[in-house]
Amino acid sequence: MKCPRCVQGIHRAAESCPHCGYSQADADARYGNEDVRMRCLTDQAGIFRRGDRGRVEAAMEAFSRRFPQLFVAVFTGTLGEVSQLRQFGLWLLNRAAFEDLPADKPNEAGILLTIDPDSKAAGIVFGYLLDPYLDEAATFECLSRAHAHWLEERYTAGVIRVLAHLEHVLKKRSRQARRDPEQFQRRVLPPGMGGDRLQSLRRGHRSEEKAREVLESSQ
């Protein structure tokens, strides 16, 4: 993975970036160290109309049916600089407790698309369980499919294009994994550990309004 601040390559297991020293503690200091309760589609920027929300949610549900072990989330808001978008996206995926997901589906299996319509920027972060299947080049390809749509403020069409190409990439990597499984093997958490953690996260913590608060305080 790449450091969300200096964009240098670092090992996923590293506690801090060896190049600039950035760590999760820095993100927590900026955005908060409590978990944020939210839905998989959180449109704080208000870029989706009611009918558009239905189309985006349908595309997200279709993705989940094709990849039931994974989930995709979409967050829109005003984030400022592109570097802040990267840092906020990784922080949010780590801190979010998605109330519309089963408690036994860990964030480590999630893909978060973050869109800032004001700065015309977007980014994708994903949990470590997807490391064998996704990388910077793949997520850049996905975002590129939506670029023209988002420049014209056709956000719904752009999100749908991102999800469609993401599905294409994952299907291709899955076929490669079946042919060469050793290349794609990863260590995972023991059964039940992630689920217990998320059950506690998804009970009684802060609402998605906290995400808006930390955005406003970081401007």
**Entry pTM:** 0.81
Check residue 188 and give its pLDDT: 42
Mean pLDDT of the chain: 81
HEC assignment per residue over the chain = CECCCCCCECCCCCCECCCCCCEHHHHHHHHCCCCEEECCEEECCCCCCHHHHHHHHHHHHHHHHHCCCCEEEEEECCCCCHHHHHHHHHHHHHHEEECCCCCCCCHHHEEEEEEECCCCEEEEEECHHHCCCCCHHHHHHHHHHHHHHHHCCCHHHHHHHHHHHHHHHHHHHHHHHHHCHHHHCCCCCCCCHHHHHHHHHCCCCECCHHHHHHHHHHC
Cα separation, 15 vs 57, in Å, equals 35
Q: Is residue 155 over pLDDT 60?
A: yes
Count the residues in the chain.
219
What's the mean pLDDT in 107-128? 93
Contact between 81 and 119 (Cβ < 8 Å)? yes
What's the mean pLDDT in 111-125? 93
The top-level CATH class assigned to 36-181+203-218 is alpha beta
Q: Is residue 154 over pLDDT 60?
A: yes
Q: Is residue 201 over pLDDT 60?
A: no
Q: Is residue 13 over pLDDT 70?
A: no
Each residue's pLDDT tens digit, 23-71: 778 878 888 888 889 999 999 999 998 889 999 999 999 999 999 999 9
Residue 201 exposed, middle or buried by CB count within 10 Å (0-12, 13-18, 19+) = buried
Check residue 209 and give its pLDDT: 53
Cα separation, 91 vs 77, in Å, equals 14
What's the mean pLDDT in 95-119? 92
Beta-bridge mates of residue 9: 2
Check residue 47 and give its pLDDT: 96
Radius of gyration of the chain (CA): 17
Q: Is residue 208 over pLDDT 80?
A: no
Check residue 21 and give its pLDDT: 78
